[in-house]
Amino acid sequence: MGGPDPERFELHCDTHSLCKKWTKDQIGSFFYFPSINFQKAGGGFGPIRVNNREVIKVPFLKPEAEFDLLIGDWYRRSFMEVRSMLNTSFWAYNGAPGVMLMNGKGPYQNPRANAHESFTVTQEGSYTNQITLDTLDVHVGQSYSILVTADQNAADYYIVASPKMYKATDDDRSLVAIGVLHYDNSTTSANGPLPNGPDPFDLDFSVNQAKSIRWNLTAGAARPNPQGTFNVSNVTLSQTFILQGSTADIGGTPRYSVNNVSYLTPETPLKLADQFANGSGVYRLDEFPVNSTSPVAVAGTFVATGTHKGWLEIVFKNDLRVMDCWHLDGFGFYVVGFGDGKWTPELRSTYNLYDPVVRSTTQVYPGGWTAVYTYLDNPGMWNLRSQQLRNWYLGQELYLRVYDADPDPAKERPPPQNLLFCGMIDPPPPPPGSPKPIPVPGSAPTTQILWAHFILAISVGIRGVFQIQQL
């Protein structure tokens, strides 16, 4: 899911199906995907909408129609073949995808109305102040809801998604996703040149747009009370993590890392090990640094302590020459600052602590830093990672362990009765005198005002953002 994940299921065992219901307490546009083994690159993702409860007023008029638009890259190879190619430096660091897609297709006609004037209204789980725009940077793993005013002449209009930090040419549009949005009574096809967007290398434009998107303090969202009831104007920080994403060569293999530590996925799921073995034999808590860079690139299972009900400041640093994006499961975070060069504590004076947006995925610009605040009120074992699929798969991630000794199931639910055991954790023996379970036969595994939900679901090769442009 694109937003804070209420559950993250790891199916390492020989059972291939799992059904789970949960309550989602955030509104907005999200997406779902498989989170292991590079399977996301095989097309395993799709949109999810979470609407307000009827008792909570929406801060805009009801749209005439809604549609979802997922944007992503695609290789002309299976995800397993692409996964194996990442063992080479070229594909790990520079390999480009074959084509850009909208909703899983190349250039196509989408029978929806489109017009010039658009307004941002939500990003992931938050309502934002409405700002007018004609181009929007949607970074990898992020989602927006956009109001589009359909008041133009009846015709067809282009909608274009082009990558950041990459210059497409008229002769090669394979990495530009093109859609045609159609008025119901249109008799005029879209024609002529594609609409121009901002310079894809103009980072100032992107940063200024990001800073202009602010939290709507008066609107309710999942709860009747205004979003602004929760704010960071006067918080006391309990912890600060300074996390630098970078490349590394470990044992002759190209990797990505956090503070020079490249994550190794253990055979035993972390939460299973935490619940039944206190992590013993699977990971060592706080083994790796969260405020400095390891002097030598190493591989390991990176798990750090997060203080329960404490405020955590995370400064994401990007020393790469390309865009990066970071996502935290289990929480939303307040994006309080962007900057260039080296971060220092004195730069906290530049933070926006009045109306920063709350989201779960944030961009980090080349050679820059992004600062976020998050309140760790959700016990569990939570993944903190680069949303660039290639970076993530090759080790740019860690886990945040938030522990609460209170066994109250309202805070963290106990393991289900049908919990799957695997790795080094064996299932407990059945109670004495219990009948043997009856085997179940196996089954084959199954694999007007318009409301537009823009989701950038996947990026394997072009590591940047996609600028949504309208004619």
What are the extents of the domains in the chain? 28-222+448-470, 235-402
Give yes or no for a contact between 301 and 261, defined as CB atoms under 8 angstroms apart.
Answer: no
Superfamily of domain 28-222+448-470: Cupredoxins -  blue copper proteins (2.60.40.420)
Give the pLDDT of residue 467: 54
Q: What rounded mean pLDDT belongs to the chain?
A: 84
List pLDDT tens digits, range 267-297: 999 999 999 999 999 999 999 999 999 999 9
Tokens coding 407? 């066994």
Give yes or no for a contact between 58 and 52, defined as CB atoms under 8 angstroms apart.
Answer: yes
Let me know if the fold of 28-222+448-470 is the same as that of 235-402: yes
Max avg pLDDT among 60-74, 105-119, 265-279, 432-446: 265-279
Give the pLDDT of residue 58: 84
Give the pLDDT of residue 354: 95
Confidence check: pLDDT of 456 > 70: no
List pLDDT tens digits, range 253-263: 999 999 999 99
Amino acid in the structure at residue 204:
D
Q: How confident is the model at residue 399 (pLDDT cuts 50, 70, 90)?
A: very high
Rounded CA-CA distance 407/409 in Å is 6
Between residues 177 and 335, the one the model is more confident about:
335
Mean of pLDDT values over 329-348: 96
Confidence check: pLDDT of 365 > 60: yes
Give yes or no for a contact between 70 and 112, defined as CB atoms under 8 angstroms apart.
Answer: no
This prediction has a pTM of 0.86
Confidence check: pLDDT of 306 > 90: yes
Give the pLDDT of residue 217: 92
List pLDDT tens digits, range 107-116: 644 433 344 5
Placement of tokens 């307040």 in the chain: 334
The alpha-carbon radius of gyration of the chain (Å, integer) is: 23
Give the pLDDT of residue 237: 97
Give the pLDDT of residue 86: 93
Give the pLDDT of residue 12: 43
Tokens coding 261? 């530590």
Rounded CA-CA distance 308/239 in Å is 11
Q: What residues pair up with 315 in beta bridges, in sequence order?
A: 242, 371
Instruction: Report the share of the chain in percent with pLDDT over 90.
Output: 47
Give me the phi and psi of 347, to 5 degrees please. -75, -5
Superfamily of domain 235-402: Cupredoxins -  blue copper proteins (2.60.40.420)
Mean of pLDDT values over 38-65: 84
